[in-house]
Amino acid sequence: MASDSPAPGGPLRLGRRPQLSEEVAAILRHKIMTAEFAPGDPIRMDETAVDLGVSVTPVREALLTLRGEGMVSSAPHRGYVVSDLSRTDVEDVFWLQGQAAARIARRTAQMIDDDHLAALAEANRVLRDAVAAADPAAIAAAEYEFHRTHNRISGSGKLAWFLQSATRYTPHRMYATDPEWARVALASHEQLIAAYAARDPEAAAAAIGLQFTDGAARLIAHLQTTDIWKNAPDHPFCY
């Protein structure tokens, strides 16, 4: 699952880059989406700046961004606090990703050529090597590159942008440390490439959709091990 977030799968530390506030926002999103920061938890700018080794300014800018996304809220005398994250929120985010990816896949199946197929196969080989090396940062980077290569083929620039925007909420680092997730990712890539070789739009859409249903189920299973939904009514996952 591709993302426009910086350094997917990398360690939770920052470098000196122009868009520092975007990096801070990406780290905070990951912590919120995995319930490291739970609903109602305060996010203090000074403490966050010290933890990440940056000034308060990019933290403030990041929190303003996250407030606009509904991930945090601000309250008088309390600063910023983490907003609620429901099962429905998680399901909807992955549903949106899956729908966009499936549309791109159907379009790609009608225009892909042998050079594109070779590029996708090479990208999947790089991912397979990273999985074999058990390198989470390399795994997440290779997964990002596979989907970036894929999304460029169809020429669906605007739709790919919307997909990348939605995948900002995908906890890439969590998946990259899960060997079973990696197995599913590699298998879905292989099925996708085979569907493209057969020029089968529906098989391609089903293959790429597998990763989003699997990703949603894994994140929900992880969140259920936390207290985030302790008092919420149970309901089955529905994609």
pLDDT digits (tens, 9 = 90+) for 105-126: 999 999 999 999 999 999 999 9
Strand partners, 42: 81
Q: Which amino acid is at 71?
A: M
- Domain presence at residue 103: yes
Q: What is the SS3 assignment for 111?
A: coil
Residue 210 maps to which CATH number? Answer: 1.20.120.530
Q: How confident is the model at residue 2 (pLDDT cuts 50, 70, 90)?
A: very low
What is the overall mean pLDDT for the chain?
A: 90
Cβ proximity of 10 and 140 under 8 Å: yes
Mean pLDDT on 46-72: 96
Cβ proximity of 176 and 136 under 8 Å: yes
Write out pLDDT tens, residues 145-175. Answer: 999 999 999 999 999 999 989 999 999 999 9
Percentage, residues of the chain above pLDDT 70: 89
Measured between alpha carbons, how far is 117 from 15 in angstroms, rounded to an integer?
Answer: 35
Q: Give me the pLDDT at residue 78, please.
A: 76
Residues 148 and 211 in one domain: yes
Residues 100 and 215 in one domain: yes
